[in-house]
Amino acid sequence: MVDFGRFFRPRPVESIDPDAELLNSANELLDFSATPYYAKFIEWLEREANRPMKVGDHMVMIQSAVRANTLKEIRDTLVRRVSNARSAATMTED
């Protein structure tokens, strides 16, 4: 009989400090938002999301609306996460 325990040993659970992990994520976001590309990327997302929707076949119109909504959601998510990271950074400085 094959001993599968030697192949499927439980891995030791690493103790990860959730606060440290959140702080690292916040710092990564702040580092990204400090780059010149971040502002250009946000502007591009805004510009592309506000492009006129394509008119014609219903599938083309749906795809155009979905694209615009997705770009807006990405932009809003990035801006919100950076704002939250800034708030977290100021809370840790106090």
Compute the mean pLDDT over every residue in the chain, rounded to the nearest whole number.
Answer: 84
C-alpha torsion 28→33→35→40, nearest 10: 140
pLDDT computed for residue 42 by the predictor: 96
Instruction: Please report, rounded to a whole number, the percentage of residues in the chain having pLDDT higher than 90.
Output: 51
Lowest model confidence (mean pLDDT) among 13-17, 31-35, 39-43, 75-79:
13-17
What are the tens digits of pLDDT across the range 28-74? Answer: 899 999 999 999 999 999 999 999 988 888 899 999 999 999 999 99
Tokens representing 2 are: 């094959």
pTM for this entry? 0.70
Confidence (pLDDT) at 56? 85
Q: Which amino acid is at 49?
A: A
